[in-house]
Amino acid sequence: MILSARSRAAAVLAVAALLGPAASQSAAQPAPASAEAPAAPDIPLGNVKAHLAQLQSIATANGGNRAHGRPGYLASVDYLKAKLDAAGFTTSLQTFTASGTTGYNLIADWPGGDPDQVLMAGAHLDSTASGPGVNDNGTGSAAVLETALAVSRAQLTPTKHLRFGWWGAEELGLLGSRAYVGSLSAAQRATFAGYLNFDMIGSPNPGYFVYDDDPAIEKTFKDHYAGLGIPTEPDTEGDGRSDHASFKNAGIPVGGLFTGAGNRKTAAQAQKWGGTSGQPFDRCYHSSCDTAANIDDTALDRNSDAVAHAVWTLGTSGSLGLPS
Ligand code: DPN
Ligand code: CA
Ligand code: ZN
């Protein structure tokens, strides 16, 4: 039987009540290490939006964008790195060259976990040169950051080794993630249990798309949404078009979430998700109006919680696969 942490606590109390005071002390002992995973936290939307406000300010102060090779990109890296360093992560900057300019990936490792089972969550941090890129991809970047900070707040002791990554130059063709995966030896690649990608997860006319890729990862997201009564669809618009492709090409299991880009929401999708049929999921995709106003808060909140759910569920399960 699978119980949530809350219902497990209730069950322990109920058993203790039946057995009386003598038994209640042993029933309250800490659960053995083999017990089910700890429940994921509810990621505070306000924290995620505060990161988006900072990324918007960085773009505004740097010519309106956070693109590869522009000052707004490195300022974005600096903002995230300071938060992660303060939270106890081991961070590193990986450099690569793209379009004759230095690019940067930010990598943050949470100490502990099995080094031969790495679970990585990532997002591209660069915008296009056309705008601030708050939905694409401030949202994925902020949700992954806030999940990492939640790991620190919980002082999580996962079974897997947790790594978080923010990629440069995705908008030039997945170049940062390709450089990262290319820098790994075959032995290092073999340590990856999975890579979770988040690119555009707060689109203003949102859909709820789950990458139809590694079945165990996909199931983790779909079960989460099914439990909330929110219908999902496989991602057809974004398939292979973001940084997960770099990992998949190396044989690493991948999954992720997406709320839609330039494609238009159908009538059937508007029926199940609300919003406006016949209009793009993100009418500001790759344009100057992809600002802090270009966000659906409910989608961003739900997807941020789903990021944390997947990191907790997959990161604290006992094997390469899912808990049964
Ligand atoms: N690759 C994304 C971009 O940054 O433009 C667009 C995209 C993201 C498409 C996710 C599909 C899925
Ligand atoms: Ca939340
Ligand atoms: Zn993107």
Residue of 36, 146, 170, 218 with catalytic role: 170
Ligand 1 pocket mutation, candidates 175, 242, 285, criterion most atoms within 8 A of CB: 242
* 103 three-class SS: strand
Q: What is the pLDDT of residue 35?
A: 54
pLDDT for 43 equals 98
Residue from 215, 53, 217 nearest 134 by CA: 53
Q: Which residue is closest in CA terms to ligand 1's atom 2?
A: 242
Q: What is the pLDDT of residue 238?
A: 82
Nearest C-alpha neighbor of 224 from the set 243, 204, 210, 242? 210
The pLDDT value recorded for residue 38 is: 85
For the question of residue 170 being annotated catalytic, the response is yes
Sequence-ordered list of residues with C-beta below 8 angstroms from that of 68, at least 6 positions apart, any chain: 98, 99, 101, 103, 126, 168, 169, 171, 172, 175
Q: How far is the CA of 95 from the centre of ligand 2 (A)?
A: 33
Q: How far is the CA of 171 from the centre of ligand 3 (A)?
A: 7
**SS3 call for 90:** strand
Report the pocket of ligand 1 as residue ranges, CB < 6 Å: 136-137, 170-171, 199-200, 237-238, 241-242, 258, 261
Domains contained in the chain, CATH given:
39-315 (3.40.630.10)
Please tell me the predicted confidence (pLDDT) of residue 4: 38
- Nearest CA among 117, 115, 108 for reference residue 144: 108
Mean pLDDT of each 10-residue bin along the chain, 324 residues long: 36 34 36 64 98 99 98 98 99 97 98 98 98 99 99 98 98 98 98 98 98 98 98 92 98 98 98 98 98 98 98 85 44
* Residue minimizing CA distance to atom 7 of ligand 1: 238
Residue 253 alpha carbon to ligand 2 centre in Å = 26
Query: What pTM, to 2 d.p., does this model score?
Result: 0.89
